[in-house]
Structure 1
Amino acid sequence: MEEKDKFFNMISRMCSSQEGDVSDEDITQDQLRTLGGIERIGNQLMSVVCKILLADMKSEGEAKRHIFDTDFMAIMAVNPSRWDARKREKQFSPEYVDYNIGDCDLIFGPTLIGAHWFCLVIEPKTMNFYVLDSMKPSFAAKKSKKKGVADDDMMTVVIECRDRFYDMIEIVKPNTIGKKKMSDIIWAPVPQQNNLRDCGVHILIWLSEWEPSVMLDYSEEHVANFE
């Protein structure tokens, strides 16, 4: 309970800070204390949590993880094939974030499509590209090529966002990629939700705890307690 109260106090301070772009009127106390449902975890709340996590990592020293703002990812995911990293360079340049994101161990991109949260991750050291999804689509089982199928839409976004992540690494760490071909999409083994509402909660857990070489093993009870 002490950890939970500390977490909520941090968000409250962030919301009321004059330096923040979120006010107390934007996020209610009820929202702060019910993080579980997708109805409650919108871009704004997820963005606040991302900022807090980044601030904590900076205060502890060298940033080992970078988390893209949810608004940043929302703009990319709308039409990633037309998203131009050069035009957005100021938002991820070392001058803007105070460090080179290409030097981080992992770069996270919490992404919302429709009513579902999932997370895109690139590992600059290996250039491996991961998808963390607590409700992984059944791409292999689906044979329909009909346009408009949600799984097709999501896979298109994932593939094209991977290309844009590579574009950004090439900008901040020139010649890192070279002739190396792009990574296959790696669907990381992560705990799966047993309902339609907890995807946002899983994202909040992964942002600070997920690593490629570590299999997170937590129960629905853990998710419920986090809520």
Structure 2
Amino acid sequence: MTTAEPRTQGPYTAPHFATSALITIDVQRDFLSDAPYGVPGTTEILPALRRTVSAYRAAGRPVVHIVRLYEDGGGNADLVRRQLLESGVRIAAPGTAGSELAEGLPPEGAPGLDPELLLAGRPQRLGAYDHAVFKPRWGAFHRTCLEELLGRLGVDTLVFAGCNLPNCPRASIVQASERDFRVALVRDAVSRVTDSALTELAGIGVEILDTAALEGKLAEVAARAD
């Protein structure tokens, strides 16, 4: 377990939960702990992540699921993964069960991911509050429609969770900070967390909180909206 102490946020970095969106990163079946090329610790965060997603929907705030879709042969993959994918391994391949969001993450009645739409760089609506966006690299803003989507949704604060902190969540958090979004991380709803990583992220203004604290913040948002 991590023990990093939270820091008091200043006026320019404190999250505005009433104008926030939840960003889940790569929480797809092929990346779960027990998958052949899964990420250790990812299945274990699902209970906290489901609570986080439910709290966002209850508050009427957006949830954006960032996903990977690796084409056969790895032509659209990060360089570090291309040799593996060129060998014939299929991970999060478009249209496969392994590419779909983990069980309990999409809203009830949500359609499956639409590879054609997502690979074309367009967001997919999954429900009243949920969207999916494909990213071709570590960061969720690199060559994606995410910033445009968030602008349409009136979002100034991003709360991150998912798989796995050293890679895609961290890259996405840095990109969000560079774009002057207020940023928070749900530490028990992200895999491969370390104290050192949390301390470093706090140093660039990221608020570190757990699921229970986030639920309280969003309950306040929902109460003010009533």
Larger gyration radius, structure 1 or structure 2: 1
Which has a greater percent of helix? 1
Name the TM-score, length of structure 1 as normaliser: 0.31
Q: Which has the higher contact order (CA 8 A, sep 6+)?
A: 2
Which has a greater percent of strand? 2
